[in-house]
Amino acid sequence: MRGLDPKAPMTEFDIIAEIFAPLATAPGAFGLTDDAAVLPARPGMDWIVTTDQIAEGTDFFAHDPAGSVGQKALRVNLSDLAAKGAAAQFYLLNLALPVGMTREWLTAFAAGLARDQQNYGISLLGGDTSRGEGPVSIAITAFGLVPEGKMLKRAGAKPGQGVYVTGTIGDSGGGLAIFRREKHTLNEAARESLTQSYRLPRPPASFGPKLIGLASASVDVSDGLIADLAHLAKASGVKLVIDAAAIPRSPALRAFWGDSEAAIIRAATAGDDYQIAFTADPAVEEAIAKLDANTVITRIGTVTTGEGVALMHQGKAANVPAPGYRHF
C-alpha cells in the first residue's frame, strides 16, 4: 500500500489516474484510459491546433506557485488560438518531470489547470507524463474551432488598413525585470500588477473568435510586439508603420520604465504579452471597438506598401534592435 504523504513521489499511473483523469471530462478523452482521444467531427468547422512549451528558468521559476505554472502553460496556447479566431475546446498535456516530484506539487499544478478549465470552458483531452533528466518541462497542445476556412492568418493585411492591439504591452517584461531584481520604486499594487502579468497572462480568449470576418490578419503577441508585427508584415507582404506613442502601456509599466523612446522600445520588444495584434479596414473600427466590453483595443498604426515594421517616434523612425535570437 502506498501512502498519501503529500511529499511522497508518485508513479506515472498514479499521476494519471489521481491527478489528471478528473480534468478529462470530455467523452472523447475516455478518462485518459485509452491510447488516443477523439476530436469529434463538427460539421462546417475546422479544428485549429497549436502547441507551445514552457520551461523552468525561462518562462517560470522553480519558486512560482505550481498552480500558476499550469495556468501559464495553458494560457500561452489559448493566446495562439485567440489570435487565430478559434474558440478553445480541448488541450493535451506533455509533462516531463524530474525525479521526486511530490503529490503536493502535482495536486497544486492540476488545481491551476482546473481553475482555467472553468475560466475558459475547456477540458483535458490527453497527454503523456515522463521522467526527464532536467527541470520541469511542460508542453501543451490546444484545440479550438473556427468556421471552415475562416482561420485568421498572419497573411491578409492590405495597405490602407489600421493596425490594432488588444490590452497593454510590456507588462510581462516589467514583471520579469522585477523578478530579476531590477531596481524600482513602485508601490505594491503596481509591482503586483506587473509580476502577475508575467506569471499569469490574460489572453483575450473570448474576444479572438469575434474578430472573424472583421480582422484581415492577426498574430499572437508573444515574441515581442515589434517581432510579431514583423511576422505579420512578412506573411502579408506589406509594411506596418507604427506610432510608438500609441502603443498602449499600463500606468504601472510607465511608472517603472518611464516614457522615453527607449522605454517604449523595451516594452515593444519584451515579449510574453499574450495579446492579439491585428489589422482591419478602418470602416469596421467602430464595430470592433464594441465587440467586447472587457477588451480594450488600441489603434497603433497603418498598413502601407513595402516591407517590415517602421516604429515612428516624434516624427522619426526609431532604431529598433533586432529581436533577441536565441542560439541553441
Q: Which of residues 278-297 bind a second copy (CB under 8 A)?
A: none
Contacts of 63 (CB under 8 A, 6+ apart): none
Smaller CB separation from a second copy, 290 or 327? 327
Rounded distance, CA 326 to CA 70, Å?
Answer: 24
Q: Inter-axis angle of helices 261-270 and 225-236, to 10 degrees?
A: 70
> Other CB atoms closer than 10 Å to residue 11's CB: what's the count?
11
Q: Shortest gap between Cβ of 141 and a second copy (angstroms)?
A: 5
Q: Which three cell numbers stand for residue 151?
A: 482561420
Select the residue interacting with a second copy from 25, 58, 187, 305 (CB under 8 A). Answer: 58
Smaller CB separation from a second copy, 201 or 249? 201
CB 149 within 8 A of CB 46: yes
Rounded distance, CA 205 to CA 198, Å?
Answer: 17
Smaller CB separation from a second copy, 22 or 160? 22
Q: Shortest gap between Cβ of 59 and a second copy (angstroms)?
A: 9
Q: Which three cell numbers stand for residue 183?
A: 531596481
CA-based nearest residue to 29, from 146, 131, 117: 117
Task: Show contacts with a second copy in window 182-221 (CB under 8 A).
Answer: 219-220
Smaller CB separation from a second copy, 114 or 235? 235
Q: Is 159 in the site for a second copy (CB under 8 A)?
A: no
Smaller CB separation from a second copy, 22 or 40? 40
Q: Which region, judged by CB under 8 A, interacts with a second copy, from 230-238, 262-270, 285-293, 305-313?
A: 230-238
Select the residue interacting with a second copy from 32, 69, 73, 97 (CB under 8 A). Answer: 97
Task: Show contacts with a second copy in window 73-92 (CB under 8 A).
Answer: 80-81, 83-84, 86, 92
Task: Show contacts with a second copy in window 235-264 (CB under 8 A).
Answer: 235
Backbone angles phi, psi at 170, to 5 degrees: 100, -10
Q: Is 327 in the site for a second copy (CB under 8 A)?
A: yes
End-to-end CA distance of the chain: 45
Task: Show contacts with a second copy in window 118-157 (CB under 8 A).
Answer: 125-135, 137, 139, 141, 143, 148, 151, 153-155
Task: Show contacts with a second copy in window 306-325 (CB under 8 A).
Answer: 325
Task: Show contacts with a second copy in window 13-52 (CB under 8 A).
Answer: 13, 15, 28, 30, 33-52
Smaller CB separation from a second copy, 153 or 249? 153
Q: What residues pair up with 275 in beta bridges, in sequence order?
A: 221
Taken in order 20, 22, 23, 28, the sign of the CA dihedral is: positive
What's the number of CA atoms in the CB half-sphere (13 Å) around residue 67? Answer: 10
Q: Is 94 in the site for a second copy (CB under 8 A)?
A: yes
Select the residue interacting with a second copy from 53, 117, 119, 206 (CB under 8 A). Answer: 53
Smaller CB separation from a second copy, 66 or 178? 66
From residue 309, alpha-carbon distances to 228, 234, 237, 317 in Å are: 10, 9, 11, 10
Smaller CB separation from a second copy, 9 or 308? 9
Binding residues for a second copy, how many (CB under 8 A)? 75
What's the number of CA atoms in the CB half-sphere (13 Å) around residue 131? Answer: 9
